[in-house]
Amino acid sequence: MCAVNFYEREILPRFTDVVLGSKRMAPYRARVNAGLEGEVLEVGFGSGTNVPFYPPSVTRMLAVDPAELGRTLAAKRLAQSPVPVEFIGIDGADLPLQSESVDHVLTTFTLCTIPDIDRALAEMRRVLKPGGTVHFCEHGASPDPRVRRWQDRITPVQRRLFGGCHLNRRIDRLIDDAGFAIEHLDNSYQRGPKPLGYMYEGVARKPQPETA
């Protein structure tokens, strides 16, 4: 157990910082951050690999992530960012924020790992202002049955090695079931093994309350 904890605490954050902070990920991060403004909640801040891509229209970023080492790895990026970042919690399924208090939510390579994903999405919906949006860039289940079978086979090992990461979650369905209206969605395969890189990039909106 100690070895696993050391790996997840000290090794995995460094590995994901290198992989998810690479140049090949820059186009994804530029796209997912486009259009953010005001007060934004980032669920899955990690090591701050989105920080260089925050638009200047963002007035404050509220960060949630369980990895303490990520904050240390993010120090240089944070020092160079004009957008203030406040760390507010470690659990996306239990957000310490008032209801309807943030303008947008940002998630990148996060919805695959949260254990109670339905509760986390419900929390995002709760804290988001009516009409606000969730910007997401995630990997998940492929529509190709052959690829998905491999994803189902690999996921148990993937979860153990990469912090609970599921390769076989239907990201669009999870977001839709949480009560968001998906306004834009692009799907594609990253370069490399297909089971590891089927992408969901999009924007989903919290509906405005109906008026009588």
Q: What is the pLDDT of residues 104-136, one digit of tens each?
A: 999 999 999 999 999 999 999 999 999 999 999
pLDDT value at position 62?
Answer: 98
pLDDT value at position 7?
Answer: 86
For 45-81, the pLDDT digits (tens) are 999 999 999 999 999 999 999 988 999 999 999 999 9
Q: pLDDT tier at 212 (50, 70, 90 boundaries)? A: low
The DSSP output letter for 135 is: E
Please state, in angstroms and rounded to a whole number, the distance separating the CA atoms of residues 117 and 105.
15
Over residues 179-192, mean pLDDT: 97
Over residues 170-182, mean pLDDT: 98
Sheet holding 198-205, edge to edge: 85-89, 58-64, 38-43, 102-108, 128-139, 198-205, 181-189
pLDDT value at position 181?
Answer: 97
pLDDT value at position 211?
Answer: 61
Please state, in angstroms and rounded to a whole number, the distance separating the CA atoms of residues 179 and 121.
9
pLDDT higher than 80, residue 162 = yes
What is the pTM for the complete model shown? Answer: 0.94
Name the CATH superfamily, with its identifier, for domain 2-205.
Answer: Vaccinia Virus protein VP39 (3.40.50.150)
